Amino acid sequence: DVKVTQSSRYLVKRTGEKVFLECVQDMDHENMFWYRQDPGLGLRLIYFSYDVKMKEKGDIPEGYSVSREKKERFSLILESASTNQTSMYLCASNLQGGVQPQHFGDGTRLSIL
């Protein structure tokens, strides 16, 4: 089974802090994704990576950056956390080619105080 692991289930940070959310997948998937999930808004794509060191902006990249130095690891960075970034963050991965379903981690619930 594909395993997507997010480093923290719950995280509390203060405004202005630099925050790192980590995601690791163990199935050699090329694509990795970061979403945020908010009630009534569904999942919104923040960033996408299709290869090591390659990234593309999603629908809501403002205030975020990403890093993919190794194929299995995709990090989401909040450069200067703000209260409106309090949310559930979901990482996903899938294979390239054809239509491949995404595999999700269990999420990180981030609170910015």
Partner 1 sequence: AQSVTQLDSQVPVFEEAPVELRCNYSSSVSVYLFWYVQYPNQGLQLLLKYLSGSTLVESINGFEAEFNKSQTSFHLRKPSVHISDTAEYFCAVTPSGTYKYIFGTGTRLKVLA
In the complex with partner 1, which residue's Cβ is closer, 62 or 99?
99
Nearest-approach distance from CB 113 to partner 1, in angstroms = 21
CA angle 98, 108, 82 (to 5 degrees): 110
CA angle 86, 90, 93 (to 5 degrees): 155
Exactly one of 12, 41, 54, 113 binds partner 1 (CB under 8 A); which one? 41
By three-state DSSP, how is residue 65 classified?
Answer: strand
**x/- contact string, 54-93, with partner 1 (CB under 8 A)?**
------------------------------------x-x-
Using CB under 8 A as the binding criterion, the count of chain residues that bind partner 1 stands at 22
Both structure tokens of 59? 């629908």
